[in-house]
Amino acid sequence: MADLQPSFQQAMEITAAWLQNWESEEMTDEVLADRIGEIVASRDGARGFFVVSLAGDSALMDRLPDAVVGQLRNGGEGVVDLSVRNLAMSSAMAVQHRRSGDSAQLAGSERVTARCTELLRQLEPSLVKERLEQLLAAALDNQGEDVAFLKKWGYDTEQKQAIGKSVYAVAES
């Protein structure tokens, strides 16, 4: 797997299978961690991993084993970037779901936001701080590289404020 670059779809399927094996105790924390380290080495692999692990029903992101945290920290800027983007998107979508009265989707977005918050607290602090400051500049001051990211998704002022609140929540312990 280390030499393979799974597609986004393949990464989601692989991750789902791994998490099922881990939850049924057919895979140890350490083996899962090694596999996660391999899959997050590519952008599509990391994207697929996070879609399944953050939004799915697996408890992995709610009680991250130390070995998994270590592998995610080793993922460096790529893992931090995707975690921050997921934090932003879930925070903004929570506002949208609250507006539309969709309590099930709201709960899902809030769960992803909480999982991203906890994960970011465990990743490399200097990388997290730098990336969160970049997102905050875009969300609250309409400046920097993330302006295009926020514009792409069409987030409004209230959604950007929710993103800002989530960014500050990462710093709270």
How far apart are alpha carbons 12 and 72 in whole angstroms?
17
Question: What is the pTM assigned to this prediction?
Answer: 0.93
DSSP code of residue 42: S
Is the backbone of residue 17 left (phi > 0), alpha (psi -120 to 50) or beta?
Answer: alpha
Every domain of the chain and the residues it spans: 8-73, 76-171
pLDDT digits (tens, 9 = 90+) for 39-90: 999 999 999 999 999 999 999 999 999 999 999 999 999 999 999 999 999 9
How is the chain split among helix, strand and coil, in percent rounded to 5? 80, 0, 20
